[in-house]
């Protein structure tokens, strides 16, 4: 056999394992010791071994490839979700084919499903921040498992999502416990279920505490939105606490407060949502709600692979609880005058 085209037995010989062990590693079999898996993967890299997917598909009728529907965005949450799913798929021994869509409308998602089916993917995971995505997944061919990941709600397909309402309630209760009479909210766009859930969690926490529920003006997820609304809130001396729909919004709000001479957290406390990598370096470092995107990816892959192994479509809907990360942007309410 030419050294330019190493085969599975070459990998086995270099790794000091059997041909069957290499096969188990390639197929993501769980009954392989971590050190053995590492040795096989190192041998594959040393030999520049690549699986012949066409031959494998003919023999096993499996492509070893999962489809991932994503959309073109620079938002931290969806981008991190994409990375988490890819990481989990590769750890399970699968290749990933990504179909990106510019719009989250039903027709665009169905077109992405068709592109992935043409590649003989074994299952589809879709980042689904809007309900139209999950709804479109009901149209995938029979026998092709699908999972929706993200903020979309409903029972159309199995879902894995962050409990955004619980995270928002955590942030709101944190601020109320610091003595703030109420908490203002700068939300994300109302057509995103994630934003609506965060609004609901904020509102419910205020109502449960008997605190006033301020008026909100939904816009988008941008720092510009946070800055624009932050300027209006900064001009109101009664505002002492702001919960922002994401960390980008919080960034804009912090600048608006700084320009208005409102000190954070001495005069106004600010809390975000997401815990982007830059959050600890905001001025001041941002208190925020952290989502575990790696776990989100792992659980979505578990749900998909469970359907692949049983051949039965799951009806599970998993909800992961985020956690509050407390930093310097939130503090006790300022003393009331009078």
**Unique residue bearing structure tokens 């199995």:** 158
Are the beta carbons of 264 and 286 closer than 8 angstroms?
no
Residue 136 and residue 93 in one domain: yes
SS3 305: helix
CA distance 146 to 106: 15
Residue 122 and residue 95 in one domain: yes
- Domain membership of residue 126 (yes or no) is yes
Q: In angstroms, what CA-CA distances link 260 with 49, 245, 285, 313?
A: 60, 21, 19, 55
- Domain membership of residue 53 (yes or no) is no
Q: Taking phi first (over 0 means left), then psi (-120 to 50 degrees means alpha), and beta for anything else, what does residue 81 get? A: alpha
Residue 280 DSSP class: G
Q: Residue 198 is part of a domain; what is its CATH number?
A: 3.40.50.2300
- Domain count for the chain: 3
Domain region containing 299: 60-162+292-321
In a structure prediction context, what are the per-residue pLDDT tens digits for the chain, which is 338 residues long? Answer: 444 567 788 888 999 998 888 877 776 666 788 888 888 888 887 887 765 544 454 444 566 889 988 876 777 877 888 888 888 888 788 888 988 888 777 888 888 888 888 888 988 988 877 777 777 887 787 778 888 887 666 667 888 899 999 999 999 999 999 999 999 999 999 888 899 999 999 999 999 999 999 999 999 999 999 999 999 999 999 999 999 999 999 999 999 999 999 999 999 999 999 999 999 999 999 999 999 888 888 888 888 888 887 777 777 788 999 999 999 999 999 987 54
Whole-model pTM: value is 0.78
- Domain membership of residue 330 (yes or no) is no
Residue 309 and residue 194 in one domain: no
**Unique residue bearing structure tokens 């830059």:** 278
Residue 296 and residue 157 in one domain: yes
Tokens linked to 126: 């879709």
């Amino acid at each position: 056999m030419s050294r330019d085209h190493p085969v599975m037995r070459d990998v086995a010989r270099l790794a000091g394992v059997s041909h069957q062990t290499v096969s188990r590693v390639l197929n993501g079999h769980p009954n392989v010791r971590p050190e053995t898996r590492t040795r096989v993967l190192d041998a594959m890299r040393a030999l520049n071994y690549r699986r012949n997917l066409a031959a494998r598909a003919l023999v096993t009728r499996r492509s070893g490839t999962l489809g991932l529907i994503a959309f073109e965005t620079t938002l931290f949450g969806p981008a991190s979700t994409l990375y988490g799913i890819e990481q989990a798929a590769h750890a399970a021994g699968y290749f990933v084919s990504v179909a990106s869509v510019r719009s989250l409308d039903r027709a665009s998602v169905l077109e992405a499903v068709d592109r992935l089916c043409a590649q003989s993917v074994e299952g589809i995971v879709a980042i689904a921040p809007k309900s139209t995505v999950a709804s479109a997944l009901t149209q995938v061919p029979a026998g092709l498992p699908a999972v929706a990941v993200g903020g979309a709600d409903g029972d159309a397909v199995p879902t894995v999502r962050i409990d955004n309402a619980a995270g928002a309630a955590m942030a709101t209760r944190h601020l109320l416990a610091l003595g703030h009479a109420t908490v203002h909210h700068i939300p994300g766009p109302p057509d995103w279920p994630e934003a609506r859930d965060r609004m609901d969690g904020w509102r419910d926490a205020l109502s449960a505490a008997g605190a006033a529920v301020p008026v909100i003006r939904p816009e988008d997820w941008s720092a510009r939105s946070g800055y624009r609304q932050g300027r209006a809130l900064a001009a109101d001396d009664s505002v002492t606490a702001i919960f922002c729909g994401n960390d980008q919004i919080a960034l804009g709000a912090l600048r608006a407060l700084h320009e208005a001479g409102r000190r954070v957290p001495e005069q106004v406390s600010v809390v975000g949502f997401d815990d982007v990598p830059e959050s600890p370096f905001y001025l001041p470092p941002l208190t925020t709600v952290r989502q575990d995107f790696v776990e989100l990816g792992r659980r979505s892959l578990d749900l998909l692979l469970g359907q692949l192994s049983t051949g039965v479509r799951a009806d599970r809907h998993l909800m992961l609880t985020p956690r509050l990360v407390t930093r310097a942007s939130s503090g006790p309410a300022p003393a009331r005058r009078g």
